[in-house]
């Protein structure tokens, strides 16, 4: 049986409990947060403005729309977390790790989205006079909820009083006694909730619900029709994720998915395959297929950076090698070879070409370490782009057609299935980009399989050993050069495989598509950021990180010159408050958080 200690709720908070930031007693703050959340929910069923000129038509009574839906979600979360903190029967499962932190972030999500909407209405329409009663009510309600949340105490895990570097028997006894004292205190105060292992079918249903929620959030975010709605979506989703994480729901879902990894992976691909059926045209399926290409390449880079610990700043060049090699043998009139291989052969050519380049570049350079290796790989990325730009028949042999690239790459035709035509599947019309989305999904599945099998293999353990301490690994008999060269070659071939699909999706392959850095991915800087921000050494981390890093810049293009500035601020904040990544492994959590070993989830032996 697992015992989970949570933050004190209203029933167990003593009268002398510390206040939050604004000095209001916690009991009053909790009531204020609850009332503010309820008022916010009510306000979403009222009109916020009198004219439909503001995007989303917020003039309708009784039916939330546009940004009102996001505020409704935030207000509902705030209310539910606040009620759970009172010990309302049936809501305890919402806050296995405590309610106060979850209330803070849920109220912040509600306040940020609500006040952004109110300010946007006033700015776009010419003053607060354009607000209807619902607009004033949501401003007051969300502010009240935020003030109440800030009045709640900030509970931090109690630090272990023993020196963490001490490995003596006395240290072990003191640590065990300290943790058991924490468990007993939690039971005595009523803040510990025994949670038994759920039946397998219940856990599988939870996995299905989590994947369905993920599909809904992704579909909603990619399908936002106007800029204000996407900004509201970012605010609600970002702070809402933090609220769920503080409540402990994310940790519990992670434990459940870890117990059913195969079901989770298969379910994730089924959910991804359902995405094109949620779209009415190819507008957003276009973004979907580009996101899959970017995410697949990021997962290949994760082998090099996340598992082997090799800092590669020119990885996008391998994507370009695969794309150019496939384009040259796929029947393009711009190709100097004038051949048309079937897709499976073109894919093998692209992967093999990247593999060869990975070995040729890695063999003389992988004896370097750290910053020196990073500089060499950065140079390789630039050399590839410049070389492809000069092989135009003037500065060099006519192979890549220079800056014009290889154009007019024909659509794929596999077993009579034309990827450039519209097909009817189960009553749904699937267009060109949706066809390539399914193909890229199969490629992604292959890359995930390679990553899982290699990561769990003997060579994968050798990669991790090299990443953690290369000197110690060499002393234990690991051939460091051979192990790193294999990682470089495998990562390069996976990038080349994704490049074969990218060449057919974009019709044209040019050197400018493979820069080190630029406003729109894929490029080496964004690929590395996707791996680091998503979570190095994991499968889901780079996939989610790449999805966010591709989607957000595309949606923030209306900011113009300030796009990268806003994006950079967001990255800085994310790395400040979650340096281990969005989906980290346990090792990186312990590295980046000194209090990660504090007893938030304790297990009693023999229970």
Rounded CA separation 353/496 (Å): 7
In this prediction, residues 30-52 reach a mean pLDDT of 92
- Per residue in 486-529, pLDDT (tens digit) is 888 888 899 999 889 888 888 888 888 888 776 666 778 888 88
Where in the chain are the domains?
2-156+170-257, 274-592
- Order across the sheet with 192-195: list the strands: 192-195, 2-5, 601-603
Rounded CA separation 85/103 (Å): 9
Degrees to nearest 5, angle at CA 454 with 453 and 460: 135
The reported pLDDT for the residue numbered 110 is: 94
| CA distance between the termini of the chain | 5
The reported pLDDT for the residue numbered 38 is: 95
- 84 cis-preceded (ω within 30 degrees of 0): no
* DSSP category for residue 402: G
Q: CA dist 586 to 179, 583, 597, Å?
A: 20, 10, 11
Rounded CA separation 48/256 (Å): 41
Percent of the chain with pLDDT strictly greater than 70? 84
Are 157 and 119 within 8 A, CB to CB? Answer: no
The reported pLDDT for the residue numbered 43 is: 94
The reported pLDDT for the residue numbered 519 is: 61
Buried b (16+ CB within 10 A) or exposed e, 571-586: beebeeebebbbbbbe
46 or 556, higher pLDDT? 46
Percent of the chain with pLDDT strictly greater than 90? 15
In this prediction, residues 373-379 reach a mean pLDDT of 85
Return the closest-CA partner of residue 36 out of 122, 131, 103, 133.
Answer: 103
For residue 482, how many other CB atoms are within 10 A of its CB? 12
Domain 274-592 has CATH 1.10.3470: yes
Rounded CA separation 231/211 (Å): 23
Contacts 24+ apart (CB under 8 A), 340-348: 340/410, 342/414, 343/412, 343/414, 343/500, 346/500, 347/497, 347/500
The reported pLDDT for the residue numbered 305 is: 86
Question: Could you tell me the pTM of the whole model?
Answer: 0.78
Judged by average pLDDT, the poorest of 25-39, 103-117, 235-249, 281-295 is 281-295
The reported pLDDT for the residue numbered 605 is: 34
- Per residue in 206-256, pLDDT (tens digit) is 889 998 998 888 888 888 888 889 999 999 998 998 899 888 888 888 888
In this prediction, residues 354-368 reach a mean pLDDT of 85
pLDDT confidence tier of residue 553, bands split at 50, 70 and 90: confident
- Whether residue 9 is predicted with pLDDT greater than 90 in this model: the reply is no
Judged by average pLDDT, the poorest of 14-23, 238-247, 479-488 is 14-23
Secondary structure of residue 591 in the 3-state scheme? helix
- Whether residue 1 is predicted with pLDDT greater than 50 in this model: the reply is no
Identify the residue whose tokens are 């080190």: 516
- Whether residue 105 is predicted with pLDDT greater than 70 in this model: the reply is yes
Locate 260 and state its tokens.
Answer: 């059913």
pLDDT confidence tier of residue 606, bands split at 50, 70 and 90: very low
600 or 33, higher pLDDT? 33
What element of type H or E holds 387? helix 370-390
**Bridge partners for 441 per DSSP:** none
The reported pLDDT for the residue numbered 86 is: 85
- Per residue in 166-177, pLDDT (tens digit) is 444 444 444 444
The reported pLDDT for the residue numbered 587 is: 65
492 or 393, higher pLDDT? 492
- Whether residue 99 is predicted with pLDDT greater than 80 in this model: the reply is yes
Secondary structure of residue 162 in the 3-state scheme? coil
- Whether residue 580 is predicted with pLDDT greater than 90 in this model: the reply is no
pLDDT confidence tier of residue 122, bands split at 50, 70 and 90: very high
The reported pLDDT for the residue numbered 156 is: 46
């Amino acid at each position: 049986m697992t015992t989970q200690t949570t933050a004190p709720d209203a029933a167990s908070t003593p009268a002398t409990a510390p206040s939050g930031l604004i000095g209001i007693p916690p009991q009053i703050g909790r009531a204020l947060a609850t009332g503010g959340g309820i008022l916010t929910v009510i306000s979403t069923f009222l009109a916020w403005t009198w004219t439909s000129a503001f995007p989303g038509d917020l003039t309708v009574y009784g039916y939330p729309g546009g940004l009102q839906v996001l505020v409704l979600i935030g207000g509902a979360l705030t209310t539910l977390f606040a009620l759970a903190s009172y010990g309302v029967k049936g809501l305890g499962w919402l806050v296995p790790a405590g309610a106060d932190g979850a209330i803070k972030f849920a109220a912040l999500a509600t306040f940020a989205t609500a006040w952004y909407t109110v300010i946007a209405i006033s700015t776009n329409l010419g003053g607060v006079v354009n607000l209807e009663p619902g607009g004033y009510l949501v401003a007051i309600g969300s502010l009240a909820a935020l003030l109440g949340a800030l009045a709640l105490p900030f509970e931090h895990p109690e630090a272990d009083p023993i020196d963490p570097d001490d490995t003596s028997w006395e240290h072990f006894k003191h640590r065990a006694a300290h943790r058991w004292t924490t468990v007993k205190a939690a039971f005595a105060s009523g803040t510990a909730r025994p949670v038994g292992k759920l039946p397998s079918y219940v856990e599988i249903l939870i996995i299905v619900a989590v994947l369905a929620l993920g599909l809904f959030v992704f579909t909603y975010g990619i399908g936002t029709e106007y800029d204000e709605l996407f900004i509201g979506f970012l605010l609600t989703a970002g702070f809402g994720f933090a609220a769920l994480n503080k409540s402990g729901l994310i940790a519990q879902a992670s434990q459940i998915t870890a117990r059913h990894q195969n079901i989770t992976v298969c379910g994730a691909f089924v959910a991804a395959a359902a995405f094109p059926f949620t779209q009415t045209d190819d507008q957003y399926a276009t973004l979907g297929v580009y996101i899959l290409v970017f995410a697949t390449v990021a997962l290949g880079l994760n082998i090099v950076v996340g598992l082997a610990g090799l800092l590669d700043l020119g990885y996008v060049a391998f994507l370009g090698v695969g794309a150019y090699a496939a384009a040259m043998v796929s029947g393009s009139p711009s190709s100097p070879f004038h051949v048309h291989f079937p897709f499976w052969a073109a894919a093998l050519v692209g992967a093999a070409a990247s593999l060869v380049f990975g070995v040729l570049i890695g063999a003389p350079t992988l004896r370097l370490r750290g910053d020196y290796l990073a500089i060499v790989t950065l140079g390789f990325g630039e050399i590839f782009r410049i070389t492809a730009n000069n092989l135009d028949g003037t500065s060099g042999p006519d192979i890549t057609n220079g800056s014009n690239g290889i154009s007019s790459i024909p659509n794929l035709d596999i077993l009579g299935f034309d990827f450039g035509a519209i097909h009817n599947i189960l009553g749904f019309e699937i267009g060109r980009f949706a066809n390539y989305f399914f193909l890229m999904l199969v490629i992604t599945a292959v890359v995930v399989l390679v990553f899982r099998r290699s990561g769990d293999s003997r060579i994968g353990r050798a990669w991790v050993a090299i990443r953690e301490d290369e000197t110690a690994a060499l002393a234990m008999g690991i051939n460091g050069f051979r192990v790193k060269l294999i990682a470089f070659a495998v990562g390069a071939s996976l990038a080349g495989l994704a490049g074969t699909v990218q060449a057919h999706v974009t019709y044209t392959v040019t050197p400018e598509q493979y820069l080190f850095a630029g406003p729109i991915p894929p490029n080496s800087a964004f690929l590395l950021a996707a791996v680091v921000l998503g979570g190095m050494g994991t499968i889901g981390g780079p996939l989610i990180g790449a999805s966010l890093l591709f989607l957000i810049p595309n949606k923030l293009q209306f900011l113009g010159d300030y796009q990268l500035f806003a994006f950079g601020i967001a990255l800085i904040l994310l790395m400040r408050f979650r340096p281990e990544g969005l989906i980290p492994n346990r090792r990186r959590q312990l590295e980046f958080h000194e209090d990660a070993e504090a007893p938030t989830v304790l297990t009693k032996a023999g229970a």
